[in-house]
Amino acid sequence: MTRLQRGFTLMEAVVVMVLTGILVGAVMVFIQAPILGYTDTARRAEITDTADTAVRRIARDLHLALPNSVRITGSNQVLEFLSTRTGGRYRYATDAGAGDILDFSAADTSFDVLGPAIAQQTGDQIVVFNLGIPGADAYNGDNRSNFVSAAGNTITLASKLFPFDSPSHRFQVVDKPVTYFCDLTAGKLWRYFGYTIQALQTSTDTIVELDALVTPATATKGKSLLAQNVSACAFVYDSSVTERSGLVSLRLSFTQSGETVSLYHAIHVSNVP
């Protein structure tokens, strides 16, 4: 007995394809919006996280800035300061004739620390009473001397006549300068570190001068990329917001896929030398 075998006709196949296309199109209409919404939310979260991380890093560094060492140039896109590692109080008077004071009447090479001993690290320098003005400016070396060694509570330094005695008899141990640079041409925020202290701040908006400071790079100096997609940037410094502190204002904008996230953050920096 012969059985008739039948398949799909061309018309039936076309109808099925059309109906399937209609169903797929209908489904896409309903799921497209949630998918796009999720993608947009994820992108915004990523941009916000990048901005927040950048601001927090800058704020953490600024909290270690040497008093009165913050300076800004380059159309408010270059922020520099001297980073302190530690500090303490120096002996300013002998105890029954004993003790090594920091002498302000002649060049001195050592003094006693009142309090915990300070360990020396390569490149450390001692700064006393930095006012950021001519005659008391650490960038110019007016009140800065090389940290030579430490033995117990006695610090030995390169011979120096410090110009002013700190009213609170404090000193800071300066590590190296730190610069944050917004390269708006490339949309990048860079952090430069570990280079030699310069009397004059770099005055250009290009990356060339800053790159020259850290080239050739070593293990203790160089630059790191802090953020990308930077579309706007401004650093503003008010040195006299209070008697004891200044205020650094940061305005950063990040743009990605046509969306922009802007962040404003204000950081108090101690200006008590």
Q: Is the pLDDT assigned to residue 233 strictly greater than 80?
A: yes
Q: Do the domain assignments include residue 3?
A: no
Model pTM score: 0.84
My answer on whether 123 and 249 are in the same domain is: no
Domain membership flag for residue 55: yes
Domain limit, last residue, from 126, 148, 174: 174
The predicted pLDDT at position 27 comes to 67
Structural domain range at position 196: 46-82+176-270
What is the DSSP code string of the chain?
Answer: -PPPP----HHHHHHHHHHHHHHHHHHHHHHHHHHHHHHHHHHHHHHHHHHHHHHHHHHHHHTTBPTT--EEETTTTEEEEEEEEEEEEE--S-BTTBS----SSS-EEEEEEESS-----TT-EEEES--SBTTB-GGGTTTEEEEEEEETTEEEEEEE--S---TT-EEEEEEEEEEEEEETTTTEEEEEESPPP-SS----SSSHHHHHHT-S-BTTBEEEEEEE-EEEEEEEEETTSSSSEEEEEEEEEEEETTEEEEEEEEEEEE---
Please check the confidence at residue 36 and state whether its pLDDT lies above 90: no
Reported confidence tier of residue 130, pLDDT bands at 50, 70, 90: very high
Residue with the bigger pLDDT between 219 and 214: it is: 214
Same-domain pairing of 136 and 78 = no
